[in-house]
Amino acid sequence: MVTTRAHLITYGCQMNEYDTHLVQSQLVSLGADIVSSVDEADVVLINTCAVRGKPVEKVRSLLGDLRKIKARRPLVIGLMGCLAQLDEGQQIARAFGVDIVLGPGSLLDIGRALEGNERFWALNFRDELHGHVPPPPQGTLQAHLTIMRGCDHHCTYCIVPTTRGPQVSRSPDDILRELDMQLAAGVQEVTLLGQNVNAYGVDQGAQLAGYPSFANLLRLVGQSGVRRVKFTTSHPMNFTEDVAAAMADTPAICEFIHLPVQSGSNRVLRRMAREYTREQYLKHVADIRRHLPHAVLATDIIVGFPGETEDDFQDTLALYDEVGYDSAYMFIYSPRPGTPSYTHFADLPREVKTERLGRLVARQKEWSARNNATKVGTVQEVLLRGDAHSSGFLEGHTRGSHPTVVPHAVGADRPGVYRVRIEHATPHMLYGRTVDTAGHDLPLIPATVDTARPEAAALTAPLPMA
């Protein structure tokens, strides 16, 4: 490959972040340099999301800017990922003069795409992608690890089966080999990724010979020596109590589970083709609580799905109260061309969807504030990733994925896993101080603390004498 300076931009989920790392590693192995800005690059690759309309509009806007740059100097523009797999994305690519189009199953073609001087399009689902083991990320304590690609469910609102194809589980040997490489690179927290991790090893309805269940894969990963294990995302249809049991009996697995419900109304769930009922979902929650009384639960909810009535929405609010989620990803329904709901259902007025979303967000903030307040005074294990936006603070997250900020302290002024006593909480953030194994505060480094932060005074003031 001719020396290339490539800049990659990612929209969407953690799977897309993993795929971007895969493409970056391919480019580096071919002699390319990865640069940090469009201004430095002669190749710009956009890894796209197509689940909702908003990311698509962001891509359109970005492509408009890149087309202006390309008019002034040589620039290769590539569109990758889910949007690239759709007719909609390919029409956008033609309209904006995109040079390279790679679907999610063709990312290993990036080298061939950059060799020629003509437009290159690849939209096949290639088997070798599933067995490819990328090198581990460098200089980070966190890593993603894809255990499967695609999805065998066909929720009426979802474009993923079209963009990523049917489910294909990676072999346990490839998963554990990649994990070993990540651990050797210093990774301490691994997140297992899949469109539906609970269905691991059962592709297109058939159990794969020699593949463990997802619960047993969790146990294998948790016994590898990794410090923390998380996973996303879980489909309630395939959730089993053994997953909760594996979480409880494997200390490395964090007590955090993301279990999308999408709606609290059985009528809406049927229209979504979610394949479970409200009652079945709540039984899963009860199973989780029985094995993990202090489990942290997060979810996804779509507001304003076609045909949703006020009574249906009230069912969602009531379920939110029954579960008491720590956090939620909440969206108004976004009609996506190519999905059954787009073809067969009439959309609700936007003002109805927006008003309901506002009420749900308010309910979520109440529960997040309530749940976070219970952490005040406790000591949490926090993975601090690096400097926060304000000088003198580090940011990270607990085992339960609560965002956490602490001031720099002696021996705790760089990324790592630390014990943190939580001293202040808001609906969306925990604030605390790092402590030693005996629970004593580590001395602060006051010269680096930005005292303009509202929370800084509470975190840096001397503790009252007993």
DSSP annotation of 412: B
Q: How far apart are CA 91 and CA 85, in angstroms?
A: 11
- For 10, left (φ over 0), alpha (ψ -120 to 50), or beta? beta
CA atoms within 13 A on the CB side of 257: 32
CA dihedral 332, 338, 341, 344 (to 10 degrees): 140
Starting from the edge strand earliest in sequence, which strands make up the sheet with 228-232, in order? Answer: 142-146, 189-193, 228-232
322 sits in which H/E element:
helix 310-323
Q: Write the CB contacts of 269 (distance below 8 Å, at least 6 apart in sequence).
A: 262, 263, 276, 277, 278
Confirm or deny that 49 is annotated as ligand binding.
yes
Confirm or deny that 254 is annotated as ligand binding.
no
Q: How far apart are CA 380 and CA 434, in angstroms?
A: 9
341-376 CB burial, b ≥16 within 10 A, e <16 = bbeebebbeeebbeebbeebeebbeebbeebbeebe
Which tokens go with 381?
């294990």
| Cα–chain center distance at 259 | 13
Binding-site entries? 13, 49, 82, 151, 155, 158
Binding-site entries for [4Fe-4S] cluster? 13, 49, 82, 151, 155, 158
